[in-house]
Amino acid sequence: MRVLVTGASGFVGGALVRRLVAGGDTVVAAVRDPATAPPGATVCPIGDMTGPVDWPAAVQGCDAVVHLAARVHVMRDTAADPEAAFAAANVDATRALARAAAAAGARRFVFMSSVKVLGEATAPGRPFRDASPPAPEDAYGRSKLAAEEALAGIPGLEPVVLRPPLVYGPGVRANLRALARLARLPLPLPFGRLDNRRSLVGVTNLTAAVALALVHPDAPGRRLLAADWHPTTAELVRALAVAVGRRPWLLPVPPAWFRAAAAIGAGAAVARLTRPLEVDPAGLRGLGWAPEHVPERELAALVRALG
């Protein structure tokens, strides 16, 4: 196929382009900066998604679209109106691209959404499922849900929505990268009693889900959760320590201490360390998806990429 991939220079986008090219597909990489485009792809500079973008030209001749580019969730949003900023990048741009794709005959449209459309936490032993009712709690989650709904209303389009939780693997950034760096230190870490489970998905296994969504006849119209690992926070930190070649040294600090720290201003990232967020990828597995890489392999690659 000839596939347009937006966000092709990102963490997931780069891995996806490598997979598609290796599989014989032609990839058109829609990127803001041509210098960041991954090798093997035809470069399509689009600039800022919220500005004028010639989407009809970008999708011309393409058989399908994978839309990864987005304004991502940030801890300290400096936008004057976060709701409007997320809507412009994640809803309006998605709708414009999808309409152009449908008009050009690129019917299959794989959209990378987020588990955050369903909420920020689950009850222990009660994971989110594909049919769980949406309950986004922030502007990012609301914008992703609005984009999903916009896709569902475009005639001639075959949308497939993927809702991943935290993605891990080489090139990861933000909180998981910070945890991996902490795990390298010869110091005790205060995570020994954090027994909340948080689902994750490896970047290799997520790109396999995208590749499946591009071709499976039963995928259109589905909104699918993707996850391959469900560790507690303590298990995650232990696994990271092992991956960096250190013996795990975790102190049994009560979870209530973390919640108290978050309450006095330590931030949402600290609060999430103590909250469960599990997902059940049964729908995706029902289409034939199965993890290709075990967590240990992906974590090892993550650590090597840290240098």
Helix 11-22 vs helix 203-215: crossing angle, to nearest 10: 60
- Angle at the Cα of 14 (from 58 to 269), degrees rounded to 5? 110
For every residue of 173-229, DSSP letters joined together read -HHHHHHHHHHTSSS-BS-TT---BB-EEEHHHHHHHHHHHHH-TT-TT-EEE--SB
Reference 72, options 17, 122, 113; nearest CA is 113
Q: How far apart are CA 114 and CA 166, in angstroms?
A: 9
Q: Is 97 exposed, middle or buried (0-12, 13-18, 19+ CB in 10 A)?
A: buried
Residue whose tokens read 């075959």: 158
For every residue of 61-98, DSSP letters joined together read T-SEEEE-------SS---SSHHHHHIIIIIIHHHHHH
Phi, psi at 20, each rounded to 5°:
-65, -40
Cα atoms in the Cβ-side hemisphere of radius 13 Å centred on 89: 20
Pair of tokens at residue 203: 């970047």
Pair of tokens at residue 300: 């090892």
Q: Which residues are catalytic?
A: 140
**Residues contacting residue 107 through CB under 8 Å, at least 6 positions apart:** 64, 101, 156, 157, 158
